[in-house]
Amino acid sequence: MTATLPQTAPPRSTATHCPYCALQCGMRLDGAGPLTVTPRDDVPANRGGLCQKGWTAAELLTVPDRITTPLMRARRGAPLEPCTWDEALDRIAAGARRLRAAHGPDAVAVFGGGGLTNEKAYQLGKFARIALRTSQIDYNGRFCMSSAAAASNRAFGMDRGLPGPITDLGRADAILLVGGNVAETMPPFVRHLTDMRERGGALVVVDPRRTATARQADLHLQPAPGTDLALANGLLHLAVMEGLLDEDHIAERTTGFAAVRTAVNAYWPDRVERITGVPVPLMREAVRLLARGERSYILTARGAEQHARGVDTVTAFINLALALGLPGREGSGYGCLTGQGNGQGGREHGQKADQLPGYRSIADPAARAHVAGVWGVDPDDLPGPGRSAYELLMALGTAEGPKALLLFGSNPVVSAPRALAVTERLDSLDLLVVADFVLSETAARADVVLPTAQWAEESGTMTNLEGRVLRRRRALPPPPGVRTDLEILAALADRLDAPGKWSTEPAEVFDELRAASAGGLADYSGITYERVENEGGVFWPCPGEDHPGTPRPFLDRFATPDGRARFVPVEHHGPAEPTDADYPVTLTTGRVLAQYQSGAQTRRVAALTEAAPEPFVEIHPDLAERLGIAHGDDVRVTSRRGAATARARLTTAIRHDTVFMPFHWAGEGRANLLTNPALDPTSRMPEFKVCAVRLEPLGVNA
């Protein structure tokens, strides 16, 4: 099942990028045997820095349980056994044909990942729509920043993480960071915040926990989870009352402010303090810091977005930014901190249920005609929008839902909300196919497992949190028996008699992506591999090879029909699941420095496992004393969806009414056994960041 990996000597040094977060730090891979990592100082995002995950990234290539041959079950309940590639691919194609014939094309679903290269994300969306002709495709990026994307689209007409190069942040006068712990999730990012503060700028952090990032802030606002929208409206109320608005910017570059002004009249300071727990003087200081400088930013991250009203929450902060005149001004603006490695590019090119390449709507006849022309199919043959990620997972195996799932680059058994129910749905399928490099918790339940190449074994492009398209370069070939995702998709497309061309060469796929994206919001048509190589990355939109790219897209106009940004009034409603007598404590979730996402990668790296070996629950000492919990005790945390067990970690960094669990671990410590799948009505983002729980001490851990 696994093998020691012989490695062909790579070039002496390969310039590439880290396989983890959307910062896409530059690194070099060196050596003729086991590769060593050194940071690059020519990449603005990290400027010679790496976090612990980046420094140890090469160890992923030689993990002892790496899969190097396809695995298959003879029948449900039988063990996974090695098989040939032909046997595995024939089994998948035959199963897809059988289920489509019996139940229609939507009987087969596809689930992708925000870590896939642009080429693989594009090809996966194309495969779903013209090889399988299914509408049932979505990806784990839906769980990442879909709420910020939706809010940005309705305010600015376009969604692109940061409003300018990341180096602009170092020249800012103030930054308000909402729900992001960059000191642990993307440590090299902190260099830009440090640059700002050394120049005299101020950092304001909004977070229910006193995180490593909050400890570095000039001002920390610590609201109750689920109350960020009220806080944003309260800050805008104060800006109105204190005469801090940029009236010229509002008049010349926006629409709809009158309705927002009326809405925030109800968010007077004392009321907002009662809702959020943030003292009025801190709110006043925060809005004054933002308004006083010429260059300020408001940045949101998962803490603001992973809510059943996440789109409205982000909209409230965008309203504040617009009222202060930040978006559309060089060195200022609103931005979202994309999480996954290709979270930006991954949602631009077709693996999201409602989108076609170029960030086009799949419901738009003109978009369908353009993309169908590139693919060589009739527009009427393209399916319409499908289910969003959680809704797709929960439909699996049901009477009206898909009977088979092909999964690339995701581990929903650990990462999806209400994880036990999602696991049951996966187990109910007629056919589950997982492409991965190890037996993740999801792959271990599959009927067919396909061993795939890793980040350093294939080429492609990634789009980082700036909207900068970067080159990932192959440092060494995959081990014998391992194929790339592009090779897998091409082989399946051939077996399914799919129309069109199915290249296995990333450069050829990228050229097709360029054509498919031409004229769309995310226009990559002018970006070539050569330009990316020579220019150190190219910002989209880039509609021609003579176009310089667009590092700051909103300087002249916004991407709306009239060029003006949209104010949208929004109201605070609180969490979808408030606490009560049975579940009196609020749970919030997040990440830790040494682990990443579902942990399928990082839990296999010895240094990272040593640094963060197990799940834990962070509890305020006052709450722990009331419940009879001591530091180090095992604690059962129970919600309306399930129970998880973790070690108690007592700290005053958490609010006394809130507990925190990281979500990187499987088994009994799975935080997502507890989380609430209540969905935002627009983005379909689940409410990962707040649910009601109770805690029970289980005694000292043996």
Q: Is residue 57 part of a domain?
A: no
Contact status, residue 537 vs residue 524, Cβ threshold 8 Å: no
pLDDT tens sequence across 292-317: 989 999 999 999 999 999 999 999 99
Say yes or no to pLDDT of 11 above 70.
Answer: no
Same domain, 199 and 237: yes
Q: Residue 656 is encoded by which pair of tokens?
A: 């006394």
Same domain, 240 and 303: yes
Say yes or no to pLDDT of 450 above 60.
Answer: yes
Q: Is residue 235 part of a domain?
A: yes
Same domain, 301 and 386: no
417 closest CA partner among 672, 683, 226 = 672
pLDDT tens sequence across 535-580: 999 999 999 999 999 999 999 999 999 999 999 999 999 999 999 9
Q: What is the pLDDT of residue 34?
A: 83
Which amino acid, one-letter code, is at 501? K
**How deeply is 379 buried, as exposed, middle or buried, from its count of CB atoms within 10 A (0-12, 13-18, 19+)?**
middle
- What CATH number is given to the structural domain containing 254? 3.40.228.10
Q: Among all chains, which residue has been given the structure tokens 């010429």?
A: 294
Adjacent-strand bridge partners of 194: none
Same domain, 384 and 493: yes
Which amino acid, one-letter code, is at 403? K
CA torsion sign, 279 to 280 to 284 to 285? Answer: negative
Q: What is the pLDDT of residue 701?
A: 56
- What CATH number is given to the structural domain containing 445? 3.40.50.740
pLDDT above 90: percentage of residues in the chain: 94
Q: Residue 90 is encoded by which pair of tokens?
A: 């024939």
Same domain, 311 and 360: no
- Residues written for the chain: 702
Q: Among all chains, which residue has been given the structure tokens 């870590």?
A: 115
Strands 108-112 and 468-472: what pairing? unpaired
Contacts with 310 (C-beta within 8 Å, 6 or more apart), sequence order:
147, 148, 304, 680, 683, 685, 687
Q: Is residue 474 part of a domain?
A: no
Give CA 468 to chain center in angstroms: 16
Domains contained in the chain, number: 3
pLDDT above 70: percentage of residues in the chain: 98
Same domain, 354 and 320: no
**How deeply is 652 buried, as exposed, middle or buried, from its count of CB atoms within 10 A (0-12, 13-18, 19+)?**
exposed
CA torsion sign, 573 to 153 to 347 to 350? Answer: positive
pLDDT tens sequence across 385-440: 999 999 999 999 999 999 999 999 999 999 999 999 999 999 999 999 999 999 99
* Rounded mean pLDDT, 131-140: 97
Boundary-marking domain end, from 282, 313, 336: 336
Say yes or no to pLDDT of 4 above 80.
Answer: no
Same domain, 449 and 394: yes
Same domain, 161 and 115: no
Contacts with 7 (C-beta within 8 Å, 6 or more apart), sequence order:
33, 34, 61, 62, 476, 479
Adjacent-strand bridge partners of 638: 643, 694
355 closest CA partner among 343, 371, 341 = 371
Q: Is residue 15 part of a domain?
A: no
Q: Residue 314 is encoded by which pair of tokens?
A: 């982000």
**How deeply is 79 buried, as exposed, middle or buried, from its count of CB atoms within 10 A (0-12, 13-18, 19+)?**
exposed
Q: What is the pLDDT of residue 347?
A: 85
Residues 35, 51, 456, CA angle at the centre, nearest 5°?
35
Q: What is the pLDDT of residue 344?
A: 87
Q: Residue 207 is encoded by which pair of tokens?
A: 């977070």
pLDDT tens sequence across 624-659: 999 999 999 999 999 999 999 999 999 999 999 999
What is the DSSP secondary-structure string of 618-639? EE-HHHHHHHT--TTEEEEEE-
CA 453, CA 535: separation in Å to the nearest integer? 27
Which amino acid, one-letter code, is at 506? P
Structure pTM? Answer: 0.95
Q: Is residue 29 part of a domain?
A: no
Boundary-marking domain end, from 464, 496, 519: 519
Contact status, residue 634 vs residue 646, Cβ threshold 8 Å: yes
Q: Which of 171-181 are b and which e, b meaning 16 or more Cβ less than 10 Å from the residue's Cβ?
A: ebbbbbbbbbb
pLDDT tens sequence across 477-503: 999 999 999 999 999 999 999 999 999
Say yes or no to pLDDT of 341 above 90.
Answer: no
Give CA 404 to chain center in angstroms: 25
Boundary-marking domain end, from 491, 519, 547: 519
CA 523, CA 465: separation in Å to the nearest integer? 16
Same domain, 509 and 427: yes
pLDDT tens sequence across 169-188: 999 999 999 999 999 999 99
CA 529, CA 507: separation in Å to the nearest integer? 7
Q: What is the pLDDT of residue 293?
A: 86
Question: What is the DSSP secondary structure assignment for residue 142, as one 8-state letter?
Answer: G
Task: Give, in order, the Cα–Cα distances in Å from 89 to each of 70, 108, 496.
Answer: 9, 15, 10
CA 105, CA 44: separation in Å to the nearest integer? 45
Same domain, 161 and 121: no
Cα Dmax for the chain = 71
Say yes or no to pLDDT of 211 above 60.
Answer: yes
Same domain, 270 and 351: no
Domain ranges, residue 675: 585-700
Three-state secondary structure call for residue 215: helix
Question: What is the DSSP secondary structure assignment for residue 129, as one 8-state letter?
Answer: I
Which residue intervals of 2-51 are DSSP H helices? none
- What CATH number is given to the structural domain containing 616? 2.40.40.20
Same domain, 211 and 313: yes
